[in-house]
Amino acid sequence: MSEKLQKVLARAGKGSRREMETFISAGRVSVDGKVAYLGDRVEGTEQIRIDGHNVKITAAANDFCRVLVYNKPEGEMCTRKDPEGRPTVFDRLPPLEGGRWVAVGRLDINTSGMLIFTTDGELANRLMHPSRKVEREYAVRVFGEVDEAMLQRLRHGVKLEDGPAKFNQIIYRGGEGRNHWFHVVLTEGRNREVRRLWESQEVQVSRLIRVRYGDMHMPRQLPLGGWTELGLKEVNYFRQLVELAPETQSKVKVDEKAIDNAKSRRIRRSVKKHHVRSQQTNRRKRN
């Protein structure tokens, strides 16, 4: 059965359906070598391109929403391929047939913690969009003198080079000397926003860890470099959060625990094997 072109492009992770409608109207999309028009439908066997670049599409029959939570280590890039050969967050993810994992936002190379991936491009784009006001919480260690006046400025808003920004919530979590831990909450995902907010107050960020996205916290037993797939209930929480229809299928068994001790050990073994393989690959490249 045919589907609207913008729906197929959104599922491929190229943007929201509305954004894809704009692309089509602007003549940036082609189907089998011909410029596409708004209202076009496709079967799924066509060659689709955006700005001349081929789009890998997912068959609707095999398409149901899957969501992973990944515990990103520092030092990994949030890109599919890095020209400098640095490790990326996609290196460890399970392979997909006829689809791809779409990252919900990014974390910079020096930031660790909770990163969400999904097979549904529309879900990813809605979760990232500022209009949805989905909360992100970070644990941040700062170096420098912090007083209440500074915290009030960060709560009420400061001017950055790309516009005003603020933390919705700041919670002090302790510290010694000039090192202090805070948990901060915001509803945007601008580039390096947490770091830039603190740096606007002449305070240096020495550690940054994302610990929550929406109401979903990072699973405590998920090791750095490990991933776990969410069950149907958790998937539908994210879908409901951004007004998408609930999913009816899942790769995760209904009665499966999120992460028990046995599963945590399996994840750690997998992370260790990946680390060993990466070291071997790097040695071969150097030789």
Catalytic residues: 108
Both structure tokens of 95: 């392979």
Q: Is 113 left (phi over 0), alpha (psi -120 to 50) or beta?
A: left
Q: C-alpha angle 275/103/71, rounded to 5°?
A: 40
Q: CA 253, CA 127: separation in Å to the nearest integer?
A: 25
